[in-house]
Amino acid sequence: MIVIVDYGVGNLGSIINMLKKAGAKAIASSDPEVLQQAEKLILPGVGAFDAGMNKLNECGLVPLLNHLALEKKVPFLGLCLGLQLMTKKSEEGQCPGLSWLDAETLRFRFDDSQAQLKVPHMGWNTIEIRQSHLLFKDLDPEARFYFVHSFYVQSQDPEAVLAETDYGGHFHSIFGKGNIMGFQFHPEKSHKYGMRLLKNFAEMSA
């Protein structure tokens, strides 16, 4: 069973719908007992960094999630803001992040020649794979994904970068280090391409 951490942030309905369509069993929960029994976990999220961290803290789930991610090493996938919360900190807010990834969340900055680029980076974009990974099994080379974000994750650890995306320069769009993984885009909104990635996550042996 995949458990989507329900801390009051994010579009859980779509993620559950897609996992179901991909043939995986998934529920959303904030119940510590349910979370503890999860074979895999997804940390969703949209909105502001501090709002997300505050909600996680209000739920009292952070120590448990730290335990599951770092000690029990349950496969843990962060989506969009969920990925950003896994970093040490964000230029968007003051709260420290979960610090599961040796990475920081930065604001898009463009020079004048790129002034036409809007923030948020909203729309469909492609990925450039940097390392082979089980997540990419049978992925269409033409795959594109739906992004909506004003901040991006910059990894200090090159080994954790699985794919990059170009938006006025390359940023890290897919992470994977051990049991911690993350997508900057929304797989649940990315047609069959996103479904392929989520299916691969669901079918990966823990």
Partner 1 sequence: MIRPRVIPALLLQGQGLVKTVKFKNPTYLGDPINIVRIFNEKEVDELVFLDITATNENRPPAFKMLANITSECFMPLGYGGGIRSMDDIKTLLSIGIEKIILNTSAVENPSLVRAAADYAGSQAVVISIDVKKSFLGKYEVWTRGGKKCTGLDPVKHAVEMEEQGAGELLINSIDRDGTMQGYDIELIRRVSDAVSIPVVACGGAGRLQDLADAIKMGGASAAAAGSLFVFQGPLRGVLISYPSQAELKQVLP
Among 31, 58, 166, 203, binds partner 1 (CB under 8 A): 166
Active-site pick, 80, 104, 121, 149: 80
- Answer yes or no whether residue 123 interacts with partner 1 by CB under 8 A: yes
Q: Is 159 a catalytic residue?
A: no
Any idea which residue has 């996938």 for tokens? 77
Any idea which residue has 């669901």 for tokens? 202
Q: Is 95 a catalytic residue?
A: no
- Answer yes or no whether residue 17 interacts with partner 1 by CB under 8 A: yes
- Answer yes or no whether residue 118 interacts with partner 1 by CB under 8 A: yes
Concatenated DSSP letters of 21-60: HTT--EEEE--HHHHHT-SEEEE---S-HHHHHHHHHHTT
- Answer yes or no whether residue 110 interacts with partner 1 by CB under 8 A: no
The CA–CA distances, whole Å, from 145 to 122, 183, 187 equal: 10, 10, 7
Report how far apart the first and last C-alpha atoms of the chain are (Å, whole number). Answer: 11
Residues 175-194 that bind partner 1 (CB under 8 A): 186, 188-192, 194
> Of the candidates 199, 203, 107, which has an alpha carbon nearest to the alpha carbon of residue 152?
107
Measured distance CA(164)–CA(82) in Å, rounded: 18
Binding mask 29-68 for partner 1 (x = CB under 8 A): -----------------xxx--------------------
Residues that bind partner 1 (CB under 8 A): 11-14, 17-18, 20-21, 46-48, 118, 120-125, 142, 146-148, 166-167, 186, 188-192, 194-195
Q: Which residues are annotated as catalytic? A: 80, 186, 188
